[in-house]
Structure 1
Amino acid sequence: MLKKGSRGARSSRGSRMFSEDNSVHKFSRIKNTNLLDEDDEIYNTRNRQDQLLSNSNASSPYNDRSSSSPMDKSPWSSQTNVNVPFDDNDDNFSSNVLMGSLVREEGHIYSLATSGDLLYTGSDSRNIRVWKNRREFAGFKSNSGLVKAIVISDDRIFTGHQDGKIRVWKVSSRDPSVHKRVGTLPTMKDYIKNSMKISNYFEVKRHKNAAWFRHYDAISCLSLSEDKTFLYSSSWDKTFKVWRISNSRCIESVTAHDDSVNSIVTGFDGLVFTGSADGTVKVWRRELQGKGTKHFFSQTLLKQECAVTAVAVNPDTTVVYCGSSDGLVNFWERENHLSHGGVLRGHKLAVLCLITAGSLVFSGSADMGICVWRRMGMDHVCLSLLTGHNGPVKCLAAERDDEAAATERRWILYSGSLDKSVKMWRVSENSVPVAWKGCASGAPIAIPSSLPAAPSFEARNRVDGIQN
């Protein structure tokens, strides 16, 4: 690992993270090349590493703007078997299996979100796909900027993009397969109201100013407050911003870190957690002030040399997790205060995404694997290493498996990768651990190289041609 301030560290900032043959190079920051909106020259940012992985737009069948819908001539193919048998009496059967894959040809997968029986997928092709019952259901397309993040609040979908904008979509009341864009954050009203005030601008580069109420670099993450009153957005511009959902207003901008903010997540008791390429994890406290709200710095949980790439919170057990570019997952437990609980060592390369579900923690990595951890008391055990992707695992989402027995807690895990596919896994909290003391000083032992995959077939009732 390169040290901060060393000559090698400085020279690596613009280097490519992955080569064409998927070999992985050491790095200390997670960034990529910005896609410029053709009418927004303000987003003239530094070269970024992610985009060097994903120059697929030229071959996308949807670059033709005359296309009426991204669902026309869909390149997706679904290979699933949702009726995977579950037999507890079979000693050779693993309760954690690969259920199937959704393989695409148009771009790398950067974001996932679930809402009820719907799965939303975002990619560098600028398309957002909607899946229902593991079949294509709908699709809509943004004008520019690869889809870095997706969050869902009731009937509205918020998507964060490479061009620094947040786009707002709404499901049609007449046709649930139709999604219409109903706004962009910041709104045009905010532009008009604030553009004339010099105090609303600050210097971001020499001879270059930016408005406080808009991101001038790529959005890296989106998160909703516990009561879904506020939307949080983090960005490579070193800030996070707070948006009031009821009126689509940016009510606060916080310069949070000395480098790109790679992740933001709301937690418990009004706390907000941010992770940055500067190697820190910070805690922010939200306080109400009259009719407004204000965020104050509370504490720094972690300060290290390598970049923090992902942050997740389990609000039920009040545990905070963070993944780093060195492949480690640190976690903190709250008793009277947040204290460091240990380190989960299961990856050989950078942790790119983290989520929690029930007592489980899922970590996706540039090593193309997904570690499944279960919290048991004050310790964590490694239940499985899910393998099957041919590229770095960039995003994760999970939903409860309603078909599980009443005595079992089971989850459907979705994983999106830079191999242009989404995979579906069935994971049980009752699985037999493959390694105890997963947070010990050594790496977990006896992790299987792969899990038995469910037999798959090509779905023939795919829905095509849904109009935007």
Structure 2
Amino acid sequence: MSSPAEPSSSVERTSHPPIKVFKGHTRFIESIAYFPDGRHIASGSWDKTIRIWNVETEQQDGECLEHESEVKAIAIAPDGGKIAGRVVNGLIVWDVERRKRVRRIKIDGDFEHGVSALIVTFSPDGRCIATASSVSTSIQLWDVDTGSPVREIEHHVDTVWCVSFSPDGTRIAAGSSGGSFRVLDVSTGGAVVGPTQGHADVVESLVYSPDSRLLVTASNDRSIRAWDAATGREVGRPMLLPRSAILRIAISADGKRIASTSPDKTVRLWNMETRLQVGDAFACGAPDRIQSVEFSPNGLFVISGGSRDVYLWDTAAVLDSGLSVTPTSIGTRSNLVT
């Protein structure tokens, strides 16, 4: 296996194609997510559908979940029983087993041609859904069972481009268009940390580490940075790309690796300890950018959505020996599940 290397400045140097490709969408895939069982993934597209895929067969599982407008973001409940799709001026919640729409929530304030980012995520206990958009400075919390608003949390610092719940669900972090982030108390809406100004451009994505100690942010300024989640102080050196912005990031369940996507149509893995890119990037020859990214629950695979396809890669193609996983501790690759 390869050892950690500085980021490549050339897309041509990439050498790791996907091991599976899921085809069926007719327009750009904005958002993807893994189900907790590791056997299924979901993708949301501008073709106004959410599709659920069987990882082993690469086939669509059941009918499309159809929407009235482009699906800009999706989220899967922690128990895998519901899936939420964010559309302009709305949130639609589906029962996964029955493939039935159970709720549509109207959200005011989006603009059909002016919104760049629509955001949706479930709370860790699955009881609330958080929504936000890049044309608003607030975060809305909704009750999953009733669809009623729980509270609106005012971010106050530029418009919101990304949010992430802490693993215990007591905090929610928000990244802004101005390059800052803030940590807010879910129960009161009050600021706990920040605003912390650490990036020179939009914070496109942010995630908590599994142990809640770190917040990891990514930006158009071509950097990924880690922060002490309790104080907002930067921890260690940033992870840098020489020529490409960073669109989305995900963190592995053990907290040792970051996956990132970029407009150069690649997915990269990063070593959280060394803060260096691990080996060469993943590439798939997509005609458009690769947007979203997520690790499988067992950390052995990475999925990403871009153009009209969903791609799956085996992390063993690039992992350095110091971060290798063993079948006895985290599962096997033979069936692509946890």
Which residue matches 1:260? 202
Which residue matches 2:257? 319
- How far apart are residue 259 of structure 1 and its match? 1.1
Instruction: Give the secondary structure class of the aligned counterpart of 1:295.
Output: coil
Q: Cα RMSD over matched residues?
A: 3.5
1:152-171 aligned at under 5 Å gives the runs 152-153=122-123, 154=125, 155-164=127-136, 165-171=138-144
151, 154, 158: which one pairs with 1:183?
151
TM-score (norm 1): 0.51
216, 221, 225: which one pairs with 2:166?
225
Deviations 1:224-248 (A, max 9, x none): 2233222111122221111112322
Sequence identity, in percent?
19
Aligned residue pairs, count: 270
Using a 3 Å threshold, how does the CA distance of structure 1 residues 317 and 135 change in structure 2: closer, same or farther? same
Which whole-Å CA distance do the structure 2 matches of 1:233 and 1:222 have between them? 4
Letter in 1 for 2:84: Y
Which whole-Å CA distance do the structure 2 matches of 1:226 and 1:78 have between them? 26
Is structure 2 residue 59 aligned with structure 1 residue 120? no
Q: Which runs of 4+ in 1 moved over 4 A?
A: 76-80
Using a 3 Å threshold, how does the CA distance of structure 1 residues 230 and 295 change in structure 2: closer, same or farther? farther
Using a 3 Å threshold, how does the CA distance of structure 1 residues 79 and 328 change in structure 2: closer, same or farther? closer
Which residue matches 2:314? 374
- How far apart are residue 263 of structure 1 and its match? 0.8
Worse-matched range after superposition: 138-147 or 300-309 = 138-147
Do the aligned residues in 1 keep the contact of 2:49 with 2:71 (CA within 8 Å)? no
Using a 3 Å threshold, how does the CA distance of structure 1 residues 79 and 341 change in structure 2: closer, same or farther? closer
Do the aligned residues in 2 keep the contact of 1:310 with 1:351 (CA within 8 Å)? no
* Gaps in structure 1 of 5+ consecutive residues: 4-20, 24-29, 31-52, 57-75, 87-93, 187-212, 288-292, 381-407, 411-426, 431-468
- How far apart are residue 22 of structure 1 and its match? 7.4
Which whole-Å CA distance do the structure 2 matches of 1:323 and 1:79 have between them? 21
Do the aligned residues in 2 keep the contact of 1:261 with 1:277 (CA within 8 Å)? yes
Using a 3 Å threshold, how does the CA distance of structure 1 residues 279 and 78 change in structure 2: closer, same or farther? closer
Is structure 2 residue 120 aligned with structure 1 residue 150? yes
Which residue matches 2:244? 306
Letter in 2 for 1:305: R
Which residue matches 1:6? none
Using a 3 Å threshold, how does the CA distance of structure 1 residues 77 and 162 change in structure 2: closer, same or farther? closer
Deviations 1:41-87 (A, max 9, x none): xxxxxxxxxxxx98x9xxxxxxxxxxxxxxxxxxx99999x9x9x9x
Q: Which structure carries more relative contact order (alpha carbon 8 Å, separation 6+)?
A: 2
- How far apart are residue 104 of structure 1 and its match? 3.6
- How far apart are residue 320 of structure 1 and its match? 0.6
- How far apart are residue 110 of structure 1 and its match? 1.1
Do the aligned residues in 2 keep the contact of 1:95 with 1:428 (CA within 8 Å)? no
Deviations 1:142-178 (A, max 9, x none): 122267111222322211123222111124xxxx3x2
Do the aligned residues in 1 keep the contact of 2:218 with 2:248 (CA within 8 Å)? yes
TM-score (norm 2): 0.70
Using a 3 Å threshold, how does the CA distance of structure 1 residues 228 and 352 change in structure 2: closer, same or farther? same
Is structure 2 residue 239 aligned with structure 1 residue 296? no
Instruction: Give the secondary structure class of the aligned counterpart of 1:168.
Output: strand
Do the aligned residues in 2 keep the contact of 1:268 with 1:318 (CA within 8 Å)? no
Which whole-Å CA distance do the structure 1 matches of 2:49 and 2:241 have between them? 43
Higher gyration radius (CA): 1
Do the aligned residues in 2 keep the contact of 1:264 with 1:274 (CA within 8 Å)? yes
Letter in 2 for 1:372: L
Which whole-Å CA distance do the structure 1 matches of 2:107 and 2:178 have between them? 22
Deviations 1:193-234 (A, max 9, x none): xxxxxxxxxxxxxxxxxxxx51322x2211122332221111
Do the aligned residues in 2 keep the contact of 1:220 with 1:261 (CA within 8 Å)? yes
